[in-house]
Amino acid sequence: MAASNSIFTISPSGNVARISLNQSLSPPLSLPLNRSSSVALRPKPRSSSLVLCSTDESKITAEKEIPIELRYEAFPTVMDINQIREILPHRFPFLLVDRVIEYTPGVSAVAIKNVTINDNFFPGHFPERPIMPGVLMVEAMAQVGGIVMLQPEVGGSKSNFFFAGINKVRFRKPVIAGDTLVMRMTLVKMQKRFGIAKMEGKAYVGNTVVCEGEFLMAMGKEE
């Protein structure tokens, strides 16, 4: 049986109407939308801009372009060896401070000791493995403390300054030839009546603590 291409509808009044499927249907109604209910169907255009991200590779490449001898700045100089000699009474072979790189009057000082194979203690400590003696590390730190204590802000002088004692000293890592010993000494307490000062000290190689402890400084009376 051939398929019918017509449909029949019955109206409420009982009349039958025939509608051919070949007839063109009227276009669908278009409902206007107000501004609040309108929908934008336009496709969003693609952005052609590029986003550049910094990577570790670019940083490494930039570092490789700079020669290694130019990558690191030298320590600053607040006091050179000649100024240090004017403050400390020590002389060769017992002057163990090469440069002051930071100084806060009456409060603290940071200084360096360049440890070299030419230091006179290495032939005996030890011939096969040159290690800076711990007692000399403590002495070097005490000399940095002396730079703080012998200044006019504290009232000290070369003729009446003494290293009186140490407490809680710990050696964390060996210091060998070729290292740069960075020492910070800070004044914690000052008893002028008794002429005693307490200081805290830390010594570093790079960013590693190699020695730390508490120091007592005595200031004798002028005669």
Residue with the two structure tokens 């017509």: 6
Residue 169 has a pLDDT of 97
Cα-only R_g, the chain: 43
Query: Catalytic: which of 89, 103, 121, 125?
Result: 125
Report the chain (223 residues): mean pLDDT per 10 consecutive residues: 53 56 49 48 53 60 80 92 94 96 94 96 93 97 92 65 91 97 96 88 97 91 56
Residue 43 has a pLDDT of 54
In terms of Cα–Cα distance, which of 140, 190, 188 is closest to 163?
140
Burial class (CB in 10 A: 0-12, 13-18, 19+), 185: buried
| pTM assigned to the model | 0.69
Residue 19 has a pLDDT of 54
Is-contact 98 113, C-beta < 8 A? yes
Q: Is 125 a catalytic residue?
A: yes
**Which DSSP category does 95 fall into?**
-
In terms of Cα–Cα distance, which of 171, 170, 149 is closest to 158?
149
